Amino acid sequence: MNPLKMQLDRLARISCYKKPDCHPHALQMDTNENMCLPRGFIARLAADAMKRVDFRQYPDGLMDELTRRLGKFVGISPEHVAVGSGSDQLLDLLLSIIHDRRSLIVTVRPTFSFFLDRCRLHGIKVKEVPLREDLSLDARGLLSEQKAGLCYICSPNNPTGNQFERETVLDIARRFKGLVLIDEAYVEFARYSLKRVPLRFPNVVVLGTMSKAFGLAGARVGYATASLRVARLLRDLAQCPYPVSSMSLALASCALQHTREARRTWNFVKAERERVSETMRRFPGVRVFPSDANFILFNTGGTAQKIYRSLLDRSVLVRRIGKAGGHEDCLRVTIGTRAMNDTFLRALFAAVNR
């Protein structure tokens, strides 16, 4: 058999990441972006960034500057930081280059679907350990896979929204033999961060992103904190020489110089998350799970498909999740501006009372 055809056939059989449903006229409350940061604010940052960029040059200096600023932001020296084209790209480099693809990966179920898709693409076997009924980590289940080379923990977890207990995650970091990859894409909305843990446990890599907290999903800037060795491997070997454009690097640096506006939205999101959750809990048949992220997982007495359609009829787009921690038919909604949240609440109220 022709090897090219075999490889193309194998790839064609892999189910990969599906882009979110496209409903341009609906409120996009399905992708966990930060719509609370005013568009004008981001535009002003971009205008500032634009003044600093010379597109004729490769972006070495800008990459060094952003690495320094990220180090300062998370409280770690820049040698422990590696920047990528979104944390998605760093995750992919860790899976395809740093991790030995022949060895098993262990993670929780449910978790970030892109992670599982990339494992499938790279032909890596994954053992998924279900979250407990209360959506907490089954540390013993994760640690029982003695031969696993990597343990992926998304915390706060997407799609459940809860941040796992610090001591449980640290215990896994201490006892797991391979690499522990902690994805903190939503950590600015949560209670604590583990970005400095690689200083204590060199087998830990923590991923962060400018996409959510800083409202820069379109700029594609993510980063990792890791031991000196892993950070250097990521930066100098695994990474392409210029993975992020000058404009995105400069924009991310500008965002880190003006964090006040972003921090204001983190507090706003936390307060809105509680208000929206409380209101939803009063709706008949709606169950809301506690969240430490900028989204809420919930289920309703009716089928998720019916509620999803009914919300969409009222121009509100949420994400269908399916089963989570033994709870069937879950949906996930992103916290947006107050007006967005109120529209969602009105639409959900109508949907569950239909």
Ligand X SMILES: Cc1ncc(COP(=O)(O)O)c(C=O)c1O
- The contact set with ligand X (CB under 6 A) reads 32, 86-88, 112, 154, 158, 183, 185, 209, 211, 217, 222
Q: Which amino acid is at 312?
A: L
Residue 322 CB, nearest distance to ligand X (Å)? 16
Kindly state the smallest distance separating residue 112's Cβ from ligand X, in Å.
4
CB of 329 to ligand X, least distance (A): 21
Closer of 215 and 222 to ligand X (Cβ): 222
Least Cβ distance, residue 222 to ligand X (angstroms)? 4
What is the rounded distance in angstroms from the CA atom of residue 31 to the CA atom of residue 37?
Answer: 15
Nearer to ligand X among residue 36 and residue 351 (C-beta): 36
CB of 217 to ligand X, least distance (A): 6
**Residue 100 beta carbon to ligand X: minimum distance, rounded to whole angstroms:** 22
* Closest by CA position to 157, among listed 134, 187, 133, 130: 187
**Pick from 226, 201, 209: which is nearest to 81 by CA?**
226
Cβ closer to ligand X: 104 or 217?
Answer: 217
Closest residue to ligand X using C-beta atoms: 86
Which one, 59 or 159, has the nearer CB to ligand X?
159
**Residue 277 or residue 334: which is nearer to ligand X going by CB?**
334
CB of residue 164 vs ligand X: minimum separation in angstroms?
Answer: 13
CA atoms within 13 A on the CB side of 181: 29
In terms of CB distance, is 112 or 283 closer to ligand X?
A: 112
Nearer to ligand X, 248 or 310 (CB): 248
